[in-house]
Structure 1
């Protein structure tokens, strides 16, 4: 999966500048409000100038991006490491 699946144009520029990728916990500031949640991949349909954020309550919201929109990474969930376990069947 691409790191910023479905994003293009201004939203893609803003996300790259912030150093975030899909699955990161982000804070998006636009005008007088702040939204925090997981950055979700975008589907190819619809207005391409929106970020999709999954809120803590489980709802997804779309935020229309402008040149004043600020995105900040606030948390990256670490993937568990994998280990090889050897066992012998007798």
Structure 2
């Protein structure tokens, strides 16, 4: 069985679809280690992002895991971990 991978491009798309982007924030830049708050995404936007990821990828993300994943790199790693567990 092939495991889907969640990428930075997937995250950018979902962030833009769900919450848009603040003026002056370039999501196409090097954002992997920038805190979501600095990118203009607060807890409500991240919950919406998590919900969209769950629906699209058929996984469940723990709210605590979402709270700890405070950068795009951390969220991508969390999602990919769940994807691996779902196909194991």
Q: Report TM bin, short chain.
A: under 0.3
- Which is higher, the Rg of structure 1 or of structure 2? 1
Q: Which has the higher contact order (CA 8 A, sep 6+)?
A: 2
TM-score of the aligned structures, taking structure 1 as reference length: 0.23
TM-score of the aligned structures, taking structure 2 as reference length: 0.23
